[in-house]
Every structure is written in C-alpha cells, then in structure tokens.
C-alpha cells in the first residue's frame, strides 16, 4: 500500500530581486533578496507524492505530463531529502521509517496558473516538492537550503509573510538560506494584484538569462556589490515599520534596476513589453496625482505586472486599470486576467 502525501505551496514575489549565481550547481546567489509569499488560495502548486515498495523507479508528472526525473535539480532535491532522512534515522529518530527510505516515489505536481509566464512557477513548484517529500520521509526542520537547490527563488516560498534569502558566504552554501522577516499577519492591509499582460512562455528563462547577465553585465556586478546590501536593510526596515511609501519606492527602483541589468546584458534580454511599460507609466501618474506612493509595480522575468498596494486603494486602482485596459482591448490580449491576492 503506497504512502501518499499532498501539500500546496504558494508563489512568492520578490521586491528585492535575485538575479545571478556565484555557484551554478549549488544555486548560490550573488546577492540577498526579499519577497512576499502570497496567499495559498490563488497562485499555488499542489504536489502529491506516493511512495511504494512496488514502484520500480522514481517518476514525475508536471501538469499532467510525465517529465524527465533525471533533471539535475530534481535529483538534487530527492538526494538531499533522502540524505537528511537517513541522517535522522541514524541519529535514532524513530519517526523516520527506514523501510520507506528505499522506496521509489511517484510525484505529481500541478500549478493553478500558467507555467513559465514569469509568475514564479518554479518557486512554488520546488518549494512544494521539497516540503511534500519531507513529509513522506518524516523529516522536518530547515528545508529552504534544499528547496534552493531546486530553484533559487523556491527557498523563499518555504516561509509565509516577508522572507529574505540571505546570500551567505560559505562555499558549501550551508549559510545560504531563507528566513522569515515578518509573519503574514504583520501587514494585514497589504494587497497584491497580478496584471497578466501575457501568459505565453518567456523567451529567455531566468536560469540562462541570469547566467548571461553574470558573464556580460557590469551593471549587475555594481548592483550586487554596492546597491542591494543597503537596499535590503532599508527594505527590512520599511517592512518592520509598515512604511508603504518607502516599501513602494524601493520595490519599483529594484524592479527597474533588475530590468536595466537585463538590458545591460549582451546580447540584451527584454522581459517587459508595451503593456508592461504602460502599466509603469500609469502607476507613476497615479502616485503623482496623490503626491505619495499608493501603488508599486514589480516585474520578474516576464511582462506581467505584480502590483503591491494597500486595501483602501485596491478598488480605485483596479477601476483605473480597467479604464485604461478594458478586458477586451479590440480583441487584442491585453491584461487578460486580474487577480487580487490578499497576503493573509
């Protein structure tokens, strides 16, 4: 009889971006980053892991399609969880069933949002995989260092609320882990809107994009060394104080600098499209109208805008967006979907 565990993990959206690795295999970043983990209700991955003595081999299905289990990052996560389970067992923790350790697993993972559309699907995906495997093998404790080896940003989805990924200094990566800065309850009126400008797959994936940036962009080096360290401190302080104005400005500046490093990459990488740039202008006009930052945008490796705002501004801003981007813009696919994501 198989042991079956199902878990869900939410997407996280960075406000100080991770872009660039110092170690490709261990997935160690060139700068620390900070994100907000979204509510589980709307953007999430659901993963089921079954472990059974009769399974011949490990297998994985993503959104209903079988994928190659030999993918190096998948193998890293499986290996590290099993290593941890074996260690726990040797340390005589009875909750780890040694018999189960030799069993193969079948993994089934589904996203309820478009994969690879710049909506951090790998973050929720690997966080969920690592967490679910850990449940199957009965291990707990610090798992973000394992999720990191699946996808860098995944380590931040292991915690709720406001989460920093501390870059660490060690060559073995043991100190490159995620840490909760504040729990989800800290800023109850913070809201997230996702403006979907395109659900197509992005042309350049983050993994290869950041690799080219590390090789060719001097702006990225400057950012990692001289900009992000101070920005992390300021961002953490803004979060502690629930200072939305500062939080918003830092978020927008960081998104803009990240996309500037993409442009500084050679050959350049374009993630933003016309709609993205219109959203950027709209947000600045909206904020200028009120003489304060009421809304902030941020873009990952894709054209979809993620908007941070406060509950009291959601309805009005939503209305303004709907005015400039009607649902069916002459049949063109502009802003096909808008979701309100409470960070609870």
**Which residues contact ligand DP6 by CB under 6 A?**
14, 17-19, 27, 33, 120, 122-123, 151-153, 206-207, 300-301
Give bridge partners of residue 34 from the DSSP assignment. Answer: 16, 164
Q: Which is nearer to ligand DP6, 51 or 213 (CB)?
A: 213
Q: Which is nearer to ligand DP6, 12 or 132 (CB)?
A: 12
Using an 8 Å Cβ cutoff, are 213 and 31 in contact?
Answer: no
> Taking the complex as a whole, how short is the minimal distance between the CB of residue 156 and ligand DP6, in angstroms?
7
- Spatial neighbors of 82 by CB under 8 A, at least 6 apart, are 101, 137
Rounded to 5°, the CA angle 222-227-233 comes to: 155
> Taking the complex as a whole, how short is the minimal distance between the CB of residue 283 and ligand DP6, in angstroms?
19
327 three-class SS: coil
Token pair, residue 111, equals 């996203």
Q: Which is nearer to ligand DP6, 120 or 196 (CB)?
A: 120
> Taking the complex as a whole, how short is the minimal distance between the CB of residue 153 and ligand DP6, in angstroms?
3
> Taking the complex as a whole, how short is the minimal distance between the CB of residue 34 and ligand DP6, in angstroms?
9
Token pair, residue 117, equals 């559309």
Q: Which is nearer to ligand DP6, 17 or 231 (CB)?
A: 17
- Spatial neighbors of 319 by CB under 8 A, at least 6 apart, are none
Helices and strands (DSSP H and E) totals, the chain: 10, 15
Residue number with the shortest CB distance to ligand DP6?
152
Q: Which is nearer to ligand DP6, 238 or 262 (CB)?
A: 262
Q: Which is nearer to ligand DP6, 299 or 317 (CB)?
A: 299
Using an 8 Å Cβ cutoff, are 296 and 308 in contact?
Answer: yes
Q: Which is nearer to ligand DP6, 122 or 132 (CB)?
A: 122
In this structure, what DSSP letter does residue 95 have? T
List own/partner pairs for 176-180 with CB under 8 A and 24 or more apart: 176/26, 176/28, 176/29, 176/145, 176/148, 177/142, 177/144, 177/145, 177/148, 178/144, 178/147, 178/148
Give the Cα separation of 28 and 10 in Å (integer). Answer: 22
> Taking the complex as a whole, how short is the minimal distance between the CB of residue 207 and ligand DP6, in angstroms?
4
Q: Which is nearer to ligand DP6, 18 or 187 (CB)?
A: 18
Tokens 């930052």, residue? 293
> Taking the complex as a whole, how short is the minimal distance between the CB of residue 206 and ligand DP6, in angstroms?
4
> Taking the complex as a whole, how short is the minimal distance between the CB of residue 224 and ligand DP6, in angstroms?
13
> Taking the complex as a whole, how short is the minimal distance between the CB of residue 165 and ligand DP6, in angstroms?
8
């Amino acid at each position: 009889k198989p042991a079956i565990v199902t878990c869900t993990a939410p997407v996280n959206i960075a406000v100080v971006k991770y872009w660039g690795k110092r170690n490709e295999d261990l997935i160690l970043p060139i700068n620390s980053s900070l994100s907000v983990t979204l509510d589980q209700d709307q953007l999430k991955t659901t993963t089921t892991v079954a472990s059974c003595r009769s399974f011949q081999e490990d297998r994985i299905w993503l959104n209903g399609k079988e994928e190659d289990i030999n993918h190096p990052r998948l193998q890293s996560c499986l290996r590290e969880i099993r290593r941890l389970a074996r260690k726990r067992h040797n340390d005589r923790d009875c909750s780890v069933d040694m018999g189960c350790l030799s069993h193969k697993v079948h993994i089934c993972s589904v996203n309820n949002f478009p994969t690879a559309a710049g909506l951090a699907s790998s973050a929720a995906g690997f966080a969920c995989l690592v967490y679910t495997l850990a449940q199957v093998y009965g291990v707990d404790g610090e798992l973000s260092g394992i999720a990191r080896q699946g996808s860098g940003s995944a380590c931040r989805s292991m915690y709720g609320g406001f989460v920093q990924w501390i870059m660490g200094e060690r060559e073995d990566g043991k100190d490159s882990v995620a840490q909760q800065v504040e729990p989800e309850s800290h800023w109850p009126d913070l809201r997230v809107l996702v403006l979907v400008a395109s659900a197509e797959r992005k042309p350049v994936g983050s993994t290869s994009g950041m690799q080219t940036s590390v090789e060719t962009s001097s702006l990225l080096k400057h950012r990692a060394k001289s900009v992000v360290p101070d920005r992390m401190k300021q961002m953490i302080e803004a979060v502690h104080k629930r200072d939305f104005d500062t939080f918003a400005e830092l978020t927008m500046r960081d998104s803009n600098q990240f996309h500037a490093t993409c442009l500084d990459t050679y050959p350049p990488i374009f993630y933003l499209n016309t709609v993205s740039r219109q959203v950027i202008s709209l947000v600045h006009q909206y904020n200028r109208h009120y003489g304060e930052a009421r809304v902030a945008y941020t873009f990952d490796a894709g054209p979809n805008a993620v908007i941070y705002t406060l509950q009291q501004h959601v309805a009005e801003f939503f209305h303004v967006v709907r005015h400039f981007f009607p649902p069916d813009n002459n049949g063109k696919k502009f802003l096909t979907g808008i979701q309100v994501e409470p960070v609870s």
